[in-house]
């Protein structure tokens, strides 16, 4: 089951396919332009990673879940991510428009995202690749530009779940 969500338009579409190959999203998203936020599944990267009309972005919750597998080692990352979630929660409670959300993210989220990126780069070889932290960093770092892209525009969401 493929799920497509257009948050600005408040639309959700479920599309049943027999498999998880690229034919489903390839057909469903043919001709789209703009921002595409996904869970990081490799099919999206193969279809849209270098697409001239699509900015491929990712869901922070999907990255965060890998760090939760080793909370003791991941305290720093989880604490920093919690600052991002708290900012999003505060903006929802204040019912800020997308322009103000963009402004707040540039002011408050950008420094956190920069610290996280620095930590990921500094620690990418510190953990064995098959350890929980190694897997978390290996999932997150190659997707970092797409994970942090939500900061650029207030209509985007930090997570898709």
pLDDT tens across 107-132, in order?
999 999 999 999 999 999 999 999 99
pLDDT reported for residue 158: 95
List C-alpha distances in Å: 127 to 1, 47, 74, 124.
35, 31, 12, 7
More confident position, 36 or 83: 83
pLDDT in tens, 84-94: 999 999 999 99
∠ at Cα 41 (158, 76), nearest 5°? 50
What pLDDT is recorded for position 153?
92
Task: State residue 110's pLDDT score.
Answer: 98
Q: Which tokens go with 140?
A: 């997150």
Q: What does the pLDDT look like over 68-112, one tens digit per residue? A: 988 888 999 999 999 999 999 999 999 999 999 999 999 999 999
Q: Tell me how far apart the alpha carbons of residues 124 and 140 are, in angstroms, rounded to a whole number.
A: 10
Write down the pLDDT at residue 9.
83
Q: Which two tokens stand for residue 64?
A: 């965060």
pTM value is 0.88
Helix axes 132-140, 60-68, angle to 10 degrees: 170
The packing angle between helices 132-140 and 110-123, to 10°, is: 130
pLDDT band, residue 10 (cuts 50/70/90): confident
Provide the sign of the torsion angle of the four alpha carbons 161, 124, 121, 119, taken in this order: positive
63 contacts 39 by C-beta, under 8 angstroms: no
Q: What sign for the dihedral angle of Cα 95, 96, 102, 103? A: negative
């Amino acid at each position: 089951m493929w799920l497509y969500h257009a948050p600005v338009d408040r639309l959700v579409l479920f599309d049943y396919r027999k498999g998880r190959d690229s034919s489903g999203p390839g057909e469903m998203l043919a001709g789209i332009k703009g921002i595409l936020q996904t869970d990081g599944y490799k099919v999206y990267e193969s279809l849209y990673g270098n697409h001239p009309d699509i900015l491929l972005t990712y869901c922070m919750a999907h990255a965060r879940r890998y760090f939760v597998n080793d909370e003791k080692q991941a305290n720093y990352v989880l604490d920093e991510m919690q600052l991002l979630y708290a900012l999003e929660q505060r903006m929802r409670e204040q019912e800020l428009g997308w322009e103000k959300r963009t402004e707040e993210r540039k002011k408050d989220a950008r420094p956190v995202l920069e610290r996280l990126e620095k930590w990921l780069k500094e620690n990418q070889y510190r953990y064995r690749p098959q350890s929980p932290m190694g897997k978390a960093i290996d999932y997150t770092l190659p997707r970092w530009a797409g994970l942090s892209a939500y900061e650029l525009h207030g209509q985007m969401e930090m997570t898709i779940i």
